[in-house]
Structure 1
């Protein structure tokens, strides 16, 4: 019996190394862009796409490879406007906050003026971000960008396995196949389902498998979770 099968509430350990990132047609262009970071047009790149598709993971990979700083858009301040290579994760979160917008604008300008490279990640099209600072909006719309596509089957399967692995769970292959046949085809849903199964297993003491998945999915449709 594994430690996780004893249902201790172990911490989630998110793997964010290059080896943890599964490459498919859905994200191959973004991975190639990270590999070619020294040749980014204008030395800036925006990676955008649906939540849960690994934008933060790629930002971590790049900062390790480039020796760059990593800053959250939500925590960005004027003090972060320091020359060098830098990644701003969740850059869309600066939109609508005057102080964070000014901080990103100054960081953008100073980084490029001093010969550094800037990686931005964000949800959706930057043209739709509610940015109030016109010069920042212009910068974001003009930056080279690569879009992560919705996950294909191979990537979604790898995501589910990794999400379980982050929780120190080894799912049976039959469970992964079962989920792939029944779930909404999105990275966000994969994150939600794995968390729901882990929570249900911890609460009930039942093993994580297709029976528990059937009951969790049924409960979400209004049925009760039944004991084994």
Structure 2
């Protein structure tokens, strides 16, 4: 029998406030986002490792503040005159082009002049961003900084349930703690494992089980 073809279709993530799980690992960052009206000079930087929930939290804030959410790569084509009262820019530490830095500088000034709010997300703290434009660097350093910490068990478990739900993948409750005891303890590993389980389940036409998870982790060297 020919092996069933599977397609790595991107799951549509649930990015609402009710879908964001709060634990001791992210409670401080969430509180800081909720208090966005009190941000120093109307701007904040949100940092954390890949898969830490920065995008989700940025969308939670955007819904509350009436903000647009754009990637850093989109800055060059963004007209400051079209901005609303607030803006979130993701992945600012990924090496902006000079044109993107100039655009972000002008956007910052427009929002500051209007009393608007600006949220920037990144993996690293602002001091480590490879910015060329001195004026932009000085303005970024005036922002507050919120950090999403390494995940605890409760947060990793909640993330895995959410990722599975986004993919419409049904996992028996016992499988989450089973996987947590054996996997790398990171957001990226949780994302990778759920994607692998989903693909394997579709390929084998079987419900996920302990044997499947054990085999996937063994293949990944975990």
Q: Which has the higher contact order (CA 8 A, sep 6+)?
A: 2
Unaligned 5+ segments in structure 2 are 1-5
TM-score by length of 2: 0.90
Q: Which residue of the partner structure matches residue 152 of structure 2?
A: 152
Q: Is the 8 A contact 1:53 1:148 kept in 2?
A: yes
Question: Matched residue pairs, number?
Answer: 215
Task: Give the Cα–Cα distance (whole angstroms) in 2 for the partners of residues 191 and 153 of structure 1.
Answer: 15
Say if 1:9 and 1:202, in contact at 8 Å, map to a contact too.
no
In structure 1, the residue matched to 2:168 is 168
Q: Contact between 1:78 and 1:102, CA under 8 Å: does it hold in 2?
A: no
CA displacement, residues 78-128 of structure 1 (integer Å, 9 cap, x when unaligned):
5332352111122223x3411111111111121112211111111112211
CA RMSD of aligned residues (A): 1.9
Q: 1:172 Cα deviation (Å)?
A: 0.8
The alpha-carbon deviation at position 189 of structure 1 amounts to 0.7
Q: Which moved more, 1:194-203 or 1:83-92?
A: 83-92
| Structural mapping, 1:1-228, within 5 Å | 12-77=11-76, 79-82=78-81, 83=83, 84-93=85-94, 95-221=95-221
Question: Could you tell which deviates more after superposition, 130-139 or 158-167?
Answer: 130-139
**Per-residue deviation, 1:10:** 7.2
Tell whether the 8 Å contact from 1:78 to 1:106 is kept in structure 2 after alignment.
no
Offset from partner CA, 1:27-63 (integer Å, 9 cap, x none): 1111111211111111101111111111111111111
The 10-residue stretch of structure 1 (77-86 or 31-40) with the greater mean CA deviation from structure 2:
77-86
Q: CA deviation at 1:8?
A: 9.5
Check the 8 A contact 1:10/1:167 in 2, yes or no: no
CA offset digits 1:158-198 (Å, max 9, x no partner): 00110100100121111101110011111111001111111
Superposed displacement of residue 204, structure 1: 2.1
Q: Distance in 2 between matches of 1:163 and 1:44?
A: 30
Aligned residue number for residue 3 of structure 2: none
Runs ≥4 residues deviating over 6 A = 7-10
Distance 1:193 1:42 in 2: 40
SS of the residue 2:99 aligns to: helix
| Aligned residues of 1:91 and 1:121 also touching (Cα < 8 A) | yes
Give yes or no for contact 1:183–1:189 (8 Å, CA) kept in 2: yes
